[in-house]
Amino acid sequence: MRFWIWFLIPLGLILSLSEPDRGQRKVVTDEQAAPLVAHVDSHLTTIWKAKALEPAPEVDGLTLMRRLWLDLLGTTPSLAEIRAFEAVPAGERQGWLIEQALADERFDSVLAERLARIAVGGQDTKMGDLIYRRRRLVSWLTGQVRRNRPWDSLVRELIQSEGLSTDTPAVNFTISQDSNPVKLAARTTRAFLGLRIDCAQCHDHPFTRWKQADFEGLAGFYARVRQNLAGVREAETGELEFQLPSETVLGMTMSPAEAPQDAAHADAAEVDSDTKLVIKAPFGQPVLLVPGKERDKSVKSRTVAPKVPFSPELLPEKPSRRAALAEWLTHAKNPFFAKALVNRFWSWLLGAGLVEPVDELDTTLPTDPALLQLLADRFVASGFDLKTLVRAIVSTRAYRLDSAPAVAGPDYDWDEASESYALRMLKPLRGDQLAAAVLQSGSLRPYDQHRAPLLRFANFTQRNEFTRRHGDDLSLEEAQDETLLQRLHLLNGKVVREITKDGEPFSPVTRLPLLAPTDMAAVDAAFLITLTRRPTPGEAKPYLERLGAAAKGDARSRVMADLLWTLLNSTEFAWCR
């Protein structure tokens, strides 16, 4: 047994014994999602007929399984799970797959991570910040998802929470933006409304209706937020102030490293002998004056009152400004709140949103406005039920379509087909998905809630290390196309090398030749644990010949090691179709 396993045993036991009780888990039923599924299928069928589009054929069961596992569980199916699936009667397999994926506790963690990426991005730490606790936030979100807490309720808590980042994990939303009113307003509108109102923070937006006053009014709701070592709180007084253009901010007793976004907005900055930052505001671009920081009283400024940019009738009277903003933001009649989330989930599960980019609901026309409105209306009617929405989308016919049509001639309109969801978009795996898939390929059983806590913790540690080295842009919700460095990491990385190393007693390289009754069964299993499909005769032939010629166990292991290495480094492995 490797030394690191012995090292992790005490820590794994501690973590397994100290895991908090997250309450009763809720799984939504097919009956809850069925009405929306029927409406979506009927709507898309009508669209396809109107545009004379022949939708792609539906994928086979194994392809659907890989798709569901990667989307909802963040990894590929294990050989044990595939065997269980193939034991289900053919007519029941589709429903069985959806039930299994949604009932798996890994789904809660994946959905929680998805919500965290929406709210705060993907970076676990911030340079020089010892207070921010993103992993604590994800753990808290996992508990909320487990009980299927409504999205509007979750967002309200994220926006208005007070306390320490450890005791009250929801405050990490505020801390992630340095408790800065301008940053908080920008993140709030992009994450929860799908709007880029922050593009108007310097001047009126040239292409949309947003004015500078609209953005500053939203920032005004965060003017009384205070953060220190005691946590986040809301002061009873305090207003948002902006320096008038062409003035100079003097006497700010902090170093440049401590300065907030002022330095980023400045066209010149220098430090005098007293280490007081001097910032000249560029023309037409006001600089936020830091609440509670001393400054030259001769500096001219203007005070900004909190104000919402639309639907003011939805803004309630509340003692707390953030509480009022949270109620307005999540109101059932807010025209953007539900649309922003359903568009993001559609993009996540179908490969392309109804509006792309997902935070441009104000500037980009939906490819299907009626479908976006249908999804949003049903989401509101369900009480902002996240799991029902996910279940409905993965149950639609559009989710089951192949990534290529049955017949694609020179006149086939790929853009029209993809915009009408008549075929499935190919999706590159994110770094965390790729890491989980690689590690799962090294085991015949799933790393799920039934696995030993120590092994799950070791898997978690290796996944994090792989993801870090893979170098994804963690600020993005979706993966970008693979880079050369990422491909080289997969080719030469430590994890793939260890999985495909012969001589390891628990590795599939050693176990498959021993457990499989025939050479063909061993090759089949290698394809199943990596690509979740069986090989074609042409793919299997060279390895069957090599296995047949390799009489000894060690030689057969080397053949399987070559096969697994090839499959793990194939382009197909790094994509979801």
DSSP letters spanning 265-323: H-SEEEE-TT--EEEEPPTT---BPPTT----TT--EEEE----SS-GGGPPP-SSHHH
Beta-ladder partners of 280: 248, 268
HEC-encoded secondary structure of 18-39: HCCCCCCCCCCCHHHHHHHHHH
Query: Cβ distance 438 to 470 under 8 Å?
Result: no
User: C-alpha distances in angstroms, 225 versus 186, 193, 234, 236?
Assistant: 15, 21, 5, 10
In-domain check, residue 292: yes
Edge-to-edge strands, sheet with 268-271: 248-252, 277-280, 268-271
In-domain check, residue 173: yes
Cβ atoms < 10 Å from Cβ of 82: 22
Q: What are phi and psi of 244, to 5 degrees?
A: -70, 150
Shared-domain flag, residues 267 and 354: no
Give the confidence band of 484 by pLDDT, cuts at 50, 70, 90.
confident
Shared-domain flag, residues 270 and 363: no
Domain edge (last residue) among 311, 329, 347 = 329
Query: Cβ distance 146 to 139 under 8 Å?
Result: no
In-domain check, residue 549: no
For residues 400-412, average pLDDT: 88
One-letter amino acid identity for 316?
P
In-domain check, residue 33: no
At 264-307, the pLDDT tens digits run 333 333 333 343 344 444 444 567 776 667 777 777 788 889 99
Shared-domain flag, residues 278 and 190: yes
Domain edge (last residue) among 367, 398, 429 = 398
Q: Is the pLDDT of residue 14 over 50?
A: no
Percentage of residues in the chain having pLDDT higher than 90: 61
For residues 58-68, average pLDDT: 98
Domain edge (last residue) among 377, 398, 419 = 398
In-domain check, residue 168: yes
Query: Cβ distance 359 to 195 under 8 Å?
Result: yes
The contacts of residue 546 (CB under 8 Å, 6+ apart) are 559, 562
Q: How high is the pLDDT of residue 285?
A: 53
Give the chain's domain count.
Answer: 2
At 425-436, the pLDDT tens digits run 999 999 899 999
Distance CA 22, CA 20 (A): 6
Mean pLDDT score of the chain: 85
Q: Nearest-5° angle of CA 571, CA 575, CA 577? A: 120
Q: Is the pLDDT of residue 259 over 80?
A: no
Q: How high is the pLDDT of residue 127?
A: 62
Query: Cβ distance 44 to 423 under 8 Å?
Result: no
Shared-domain flag, residues 265 and 378: no
Q: Is the pLDDT of residue 329 over 70?
A: yes
Q: Which domain holds residue 342?
A: 338-398
Give the confidence band of 19 by pLDDT, cuts at 50, 70, 90.
very low
For residues 527-531, average pLDDT: 97
Q: What tokens does 212 get? A: 């500078």
For residues 126-148, average pLDDT: 90
Q: How high is the pLDDT of residue 395?
A: 98
To the nearest 10°, the Cα dihedral for 467, 471, 473, 478? Answer: -50
Q: Is the pLDDT of residue 168 over 60?
A: yes
Q: Is the pLDDT of residue 107 over 90?
A: yes
